[in-house]
Structure 1
Amino acid sequence: MSGLFPMTPLELRPNRHVIPAGTELWRVHSTKYVPNEFNPKLADPFEFKDGSRFDGTLLDPYHCLYLADTATTALAESVLRSRPFEPSAGMRLIPYAAVWRRSLSVLRTRCELNLVSLIESPDLAAVCQDSTLLEDERNYVQARRWASEIRAQVPDVMGLIWQSRHNRPQRALVLFHDRFGPGDGEPLEVLPERGIADLDSDAGIEKANQILKPLRSEISRPRRE
């Protein structure tokens, strides 16, 4: 921690959500990363367009790892942000660039994950927030600051969990790398050959589109010269 948090006089009283050891979770990630590797990239603490909602920043430099409870949720959280339904197609068309050099992986928890719940309105109220924390695409600066407030006031929390915006009522979560001690080993075990190693391949796009079909969404195939 940077020592700059907490910055609010409000006392947070977060509700806990525990994910048991042995739980399978899904992740969409850059293919250059090992599936259970935390993303070391830090977001600009003052720029909402940079990074994801609960990323670490230079003011609170934790590495993060985003996960979801199902393959559909993981894909939806990754590729459906701000995607409108196209009148001509009657569905959401996802550009090929959204899956280029990306993978869908399955992981299994090796330990209990002790998380702060942001799933229901009372959970958000417990940390002095409302749905704006999760819904507003322009609210990333505030969301990151409040993640740091939670981390400062609840030093044993390993991450956050909330209801997916793009696949309700399923869940998405983020883990903080610095809340796992060196003696804990890797908190997540990779389950090989269960996901889609190359989402940008023809076979990968076909499998992903089958997963996204109930959400009326489809990844476009690259143009062939």
Structure 2
Amino acid sequence: MALAFKSTLRGYSAYLEKPERQILRSLFSDVLTLLGGVSPADEPLAEDKPKFMDRFRPARDTAHLPQTPTTEDSAETGSPTDAAFWDLVGSLTEDNVQVDLTDPAVQRLLPEARSGEDADAGSAQFRDLAQDNIRQDKIADLQRSYALLQSPSLMLNEREAEAFGRALNQVRLVLSSRLNIEHEEDAERVHKIDSVDQATDVERYMALLYNFVSWLQETLMQALIGDLS
């Protein structure tokens, strides 16, 4: 049972059981592969031990999923775990990577900067100048978020929460591509899959994952926005 993100005095808190963290790690890893990145080395996930107050969260704060078998600046200004994190993943990207820019999911992750008559003329130059930086930023968010899933009780500072939200959005973009979500009626079709019992095939299971990731991201965004109001 996942518990929604909420803003606390210590940071942005959520609770994810081990199967849910395994699923999210797998999704982050899949998107990293699409972008030519590498997942951090796996460490055994901590066992589920809900904190006392988490046991009394209201039902609206919960969700269920089926079980399934520039780094120096960041290290200086982030949380106490940042330095160790960047030591771990700082060298996990390849210099010579092949990203399939014809994959519709990759196109959603790395959209063109131009449209219309100038699109073809500008796209190659844009990729050369900006696309790799965008890709590296997305890889860094995914790697950081992958590492943050070690413990069932997440407590994120603002920078970690923002990176985690961006990583969740990347997963949503890929899943929306695989589910062919193009129009409002497509989204409505996917949103109807809201229980484990409905996940009877691959597409429905992906729909369930999409809805779970969307729910988790929404609760995180609400917590972040709430602190700004």
Instruction: State the TM-score, normalizing by the size of structure 1.
Output: 0.23
Instruction: State the TM-score, normalizing by the size of structure 2.
Output: 0.23
Higher helix residue share: 2
Higher strand residue share: 1
